[in-house]
Amino acid sequence: MMSTESAIARGTRDSSLVRSYRDAHPTCEVCWWPRRCHVHHIVPVSHGGMSEHGNLITLCPNHHADAHWLLAERPPEIDDAGEVVMRPFDRASLVEAIIDLGPQELNFIFRRRAHYQRERQRRQKNKEWAALSPDEQDRRIVTALNSASGHLSAALAEA
């Protein structure tokens, strides 16, 4: 069993290796986008992948999401001992699979990204709402109800 100190040392080493890889490969390896690129593990750490140069690829945020979608569609095969038996992708096949995504897959990915963005916005609004005092919450509710009833009255008057 690994001690806490060695786990912390490995985590520090892995994160510095990922940073050095990103510094050496600053652009997306699919579309060459130059900003805000992520380092992706071709075989995820959760599936036994290591933070080593042969298992890392730099991707823009869009292609990073595509890579995770592809991994969900074709996960690695793992034996009873927890070892990776078959890896669904190497670097070249992952890049090729991302490029070959068809309209149906891309439509699914874009819908999922929009859902996550809406969820982030909803959570942010909930945080802002929770930060308000109960009196301010009540005032905003009353204001919204009065506004809605005013719109309803106007719509009924026009009908």
Q: What is the pLDDT of residue 5?
A: 43
Burial class (CB in 10 A: 0-12, 13-18, 19+), 31: middle
Statement: residue 54 has pLDDT above 70: yes
**CATH code for the structural domain at 1-101:** 1.10.30.50
Statement: residue 10 has pLDDT above 80: no
pTM: 0.55
Q: What is the pLDDT of residue 84?
A: 67
